[in-house]
Structure 1
Amino acid sequence: MKATFESYIENKTLVLKIKGDLIGDESGPHLVGLVSDGIQEGVQTCIVDLSQVRYISSSGIGVLITILTKMRNNDGEVYLTSPSEHVKKLLIITKLNNIFNVFDSLEEAVNQSK
């Protein structure tokens, strides 16, 4: 299932809600573009809601790392929220759980970003 997403900015925080499979197809450059636009608008934090993501490919991981790099290069931070068990295992296997801040819920991440 191709990824669809919605995004909004609230209190200098960009929230990306992704639904479906994050496989880095055309959605990858689009997500990175949204982050670049957010940085232009003064966004300090990017929260990626993974609650509706079933699968992430290696390209999808590349997209997440690109987003993280962009944000950190601009003194920002990225929070991942609500990963499924499958996605959690993937983050652990790839050691990305040590690089990203991962929260169980969107609310937790939003509170952290304040």
Structure 2
Amino acid sequence: MIEEFKIRLGFENGGVLPVIHISGEITSEAEDEIVQSYDSIPADKKKRVILNFTDTSYINSAGIATLISLITKSSENQGKIEFAGLNNHFRKVMDIVGLTDFVLIHDSIESALSQS
């Protein structure tokens, strides 16, 4: 069963910490929405952006490529992308493709929000 992709941008910790909540499947169809969500964050709030994968069910190579381009874009602007809520499988995938060398990974969105 294909789970519909959904994305929601929220601001946590008193409105200063952007969190992109991703649910469903991250494929090439998700790229535009993910990039647009990131681009819609005000520049002064892009120092630290969290991607919440708690409700993500699937990611393919095109989805990984989207994440890589987001990480690259962020680092070019002296920002950081952090991942939260990856299940064990996704965590292994991120490790295999080398993304864990470039992002901070939190076990849960709650632990990510508790770090300032």
TM-score normalized with structure 1 length: 0.86
- Following the alignment from structure 1 to structure 2, what is the Cα–Cα distance between the partners of residues 45 and 100? 11
Q: How many residues align?
A: 112
Gaps of 5+ in 1: none
> Structure 1's 39 and 54: CA in aligned 2 closer, same or farther, altered over 3 A?
same
* % identical equivalent positions: 23
| 1:44 paired to 2:26 | no
Amino acid at match of 1:16: I
Alignment of 1:37-76 (within 5 A): 37-40=40-43, 42-76=45-79
Kept in 2, the 8 Å contact 1:81–1:106? The answer is yes
- Following the alignment from structure 2 to structure 1, what is the Cα–Cα distance between the partners of residues 44 and 101? 28
**What does residue 90 of structure 1 align with?**
93
- Following the alignment from structure 1 to structure 2, what is the Cα–Cα distance between the partners of residues 63 and 19? 15
Kept in 2, the 8 Å contact 1:32–1:67? The answer is yes
RMSD of aligned alpha carbons: 1.6
**What does residue 38 of structure 2 align with?**
35
Gaps of 5+ in 2: none
| 1:24 paired to 2:28 | yes
CA deviation after TM superposition for structure 1 residue 60, in Å:
0.5
TM-score normalized with structure 2 length: 0.85
